[in-house]
């Protein structure tokens, strides 16, 4: 048990796919078969792969979970076999939700030959969907970008911070969220349940020297585009001397961003017809070349572990930053251990393992929440029964260190990280 964490018997239950009527259950029953059908439609997979994907869909619907397939080229096979062994004999509707979701993507990659030599080796089964989402994001953001760049200093930072939040509204693993990816304007601020915007500005501006900033990224499309724009602002204004994007090392949750996706987005920006966005693309390309913008990966990001199990080397890397933006609903679930904490539980008391300070930038698409005022959750539920899952609301929740939890920064920037 981590020092300062609640005793094991005090921990609330994790979200389960067995919870009747839950969003967790619906994602397995309804959403996962849709993902399989879309992947089949998008690729000319051989007959045996299509048949295996069809069998996988039937397994999810009515059978016990099968073990992972061994692959000589996949260093993660042992980890996943150990994880599967904890739930062997259970059906897909008898599992912890986060494990079920992550194991689904692991199994899909095995089935489509992602780890095997040949035509489909390292081929992203979600690539076609990502490319569409990226193109749509550039067109959409291009229409509002002139207004954003017209803002100066702190006003532009605030606009970009909020855009980075609302850009997380829609992702390809959750088709039920149909909100616009960009906030509708000042009125959207009433939907930010926890809004520490001003405190984030003060923290960054209070640094005597430019900060080191990291993002734990989420989706491609508008989500990662605004993360890049926010990174570019921090570097251009001298608020940060280095920005690191922590990305997935393999396809995950359909639209989660990998280094190749970010590189493709930068290339798209450089060649797009929107003048200001093209200028942003060139700035980002130069920052990547100079090493001021780093793309990092680690197997942890695509594992079934929550942040209470954050490995020490990765934790030390994260702790070397002055501020970490933790993006998206899945990463928020990992902060909370995917557990049903009382909604008034302080996030600081739960996320003891994650380095501080960090900002949780999350639109609500999962049935957990922390840090609300007494009675606030009941009022929200009365107003909107789906307030936790429909992506309408968000948080900009800053968690700062106290004197018991200080981390010494590394004296030099760390390189792109990719462990076997």
Mean predicted lDDT score pLDDT of the chain? 89
Tell me: pLDDT of 374 over 50: yes
* pLDDT of 188: 80
pTM of structure: 0.90
What distances in angstroms separate CA 324 from CA 176, 221, 264, 357, one per listed residue? 28, 21, 24, 7
Tell me: pLDDT of 81 over 60: yes
pLDDT tens digit string along 142-159?
A: 988 888 888 888 999 999
- Predicted confidence band at 73 (pLDDT cuts at 50, 70, 90)? low
Positive or negative, the CA dihedral 87, 89, 93, 94 is negative
Tell me: pLDDT of 178 over 70: no
Residue 50, C-beta contacts closer than 8 angstroms, at least 6 positions apart: 40
* pLDDT of 187: 54
* pLDDT of 83: 95
Per-residue pLDDT, averaged over 275-295, amounts to 96
- Which residue would you say has higher pLDDT here, 8 or 394? 394
* pLDDT of 411: 29
* pLDDT of 409: 30
- Which residue would you say has higher pLDDT here, 359 or 171? 359
pLDDT tens digit string along 337-352?
A: 999 999 999 999 999 9
Encoding tokens for residue 81?
């076999």
* pLDDT of 212: 96
Tell me: pLDDT of 171 over 70: no
pLDDT tens digit string along 197-206?
A: 999 999 998 8
Pick the CATH number of 8-111 from 1.25.10.10, 1.20.930.60, 3.30.1360.120, 1.10.10.10: 1.20.930.60
Give the other-Cβ count within 10 Å of 144's Cβ.
Answer: 13
- Predicted confidence band at 402 (pLDDT cuts at 50, 70, 90)? low
- Predicted confidence band at 1 (pLDDT cuts at 50, 70, 90)? very low
Per-residue pLDDT, averaged over 161-175, amounts to 72
pLDDT tens digit string along 224-255?
A: 999 999 999 999 999 999 999 999 999 999 99
Exposed / middle / buried, residue 342 (Cβ in 10 Å: 0-12, 13-18, 19+): exposed
Domain ranges of the chain: 8-111, 127-399
CA distance 384 to 392: 10
Rounded (5°) CA angle 172-177-178: 100
Per-residue pLDDT, averaged over 169-189, amounts to 49
The CA radius of gyration of the chain, in Å to the nearest whole number, is 21
Encoding tokens for residue 405?
């939890």
- Predicted confidence band at 176 (pLDDT cuts at 50, 70, 90)? very low
Rounded (5°) CA angle 341-345-346: 130
- Predicted confidence band at 414 (pLDDT cuts at 50, 70, 90)? very low
Please state which CATH number belongs to domain 127-399.
3.40.50.10880
Tell me: pLDDT of 406 over 80: no
Rounded to whole angstroms, the maximal C-alpha distance in the chain is 61
């Amino acid at each position: 048990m981590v020092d300062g964490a609640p005793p094991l018997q005090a921990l609330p239950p994790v979200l389960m796919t067995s919870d009747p009527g839950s969003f967790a259950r619906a994602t397995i029953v309804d959403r996962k078969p849709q993902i399989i059908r879309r992947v089949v439609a998008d690729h000319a997979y051989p007959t045996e792969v299509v048949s295996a994907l069809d069998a996988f869909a039937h397994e999810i619907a009515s059978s016990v979970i099968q073990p992972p397939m061994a692959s000589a080229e996949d260093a993660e096979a042992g980890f996943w076999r150990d994880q599967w062994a904890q739930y062997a004999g259970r059906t897909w509707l008898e599992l912890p939700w986060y494990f079920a979701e992550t194991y689904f993507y692991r199994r899909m990659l095995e089935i489509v030959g992602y780890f095997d030599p040949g035509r489909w080796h390292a081929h992203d089964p979600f690539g076609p969907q990502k490319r569409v989402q990226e193109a749509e994001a550039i067109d959409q953001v291009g229409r509002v970008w002139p207004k954003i760049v017209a803002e100066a200093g702190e006003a532009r930072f605030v606009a970009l911070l909020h855009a980075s939040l609302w850009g997380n509204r829609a992702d390809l693993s959750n088709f039920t969220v149909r909100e616009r990816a960009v906030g509708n304007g000042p009125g959207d601020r009433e939907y930010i349940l926890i809004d520490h915007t001003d405190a984030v500005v003060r923290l960054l501006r209070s640094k005597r020297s430019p900060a080191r900033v990291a993002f734990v990224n989420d989706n491609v499309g508008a989500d990662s585009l605004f993360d890049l724009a926010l990174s570019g602002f921090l570097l251009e204004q001298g608020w940060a001397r280095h920005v690191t994007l922590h990305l997935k090392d393999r396809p995950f949750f359909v639209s989660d961003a990998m280094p190749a996706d970010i590189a493709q987005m930068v290339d798209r920006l450089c060649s797009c017809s929107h003048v200001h966005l093209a200028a942003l693309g060139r700035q980002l390309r130069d920052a990547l070349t100079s090493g001021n913008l780093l793309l990092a990966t680690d197997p942890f990001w695509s594992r079934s572990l929550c942040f209470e199990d954050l490995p020490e080397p990765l934790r030390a890397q994260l702790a070397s930053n002055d501020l970490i933006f933790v993006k998206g609903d899945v990463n928020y679930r990992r902060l909370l251990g995917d557990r049903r904490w009382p909604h008034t539980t302080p996030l600081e008391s739960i996320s003891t393992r994650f380095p501080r300070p960090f900002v949780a930038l999350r639109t609500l698409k999962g049935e957990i929440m922390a840090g609300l005022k007494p009675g606030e959750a009941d009022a929200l539920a009365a107003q909107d029964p789906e307030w936790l899952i429909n992506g309408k609301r968000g948080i900009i929740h800053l968690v700062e260190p106290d004197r018991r939890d200080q981390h010494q920064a590394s004296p030099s920037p760390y390189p792109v990280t990719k462990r076997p």
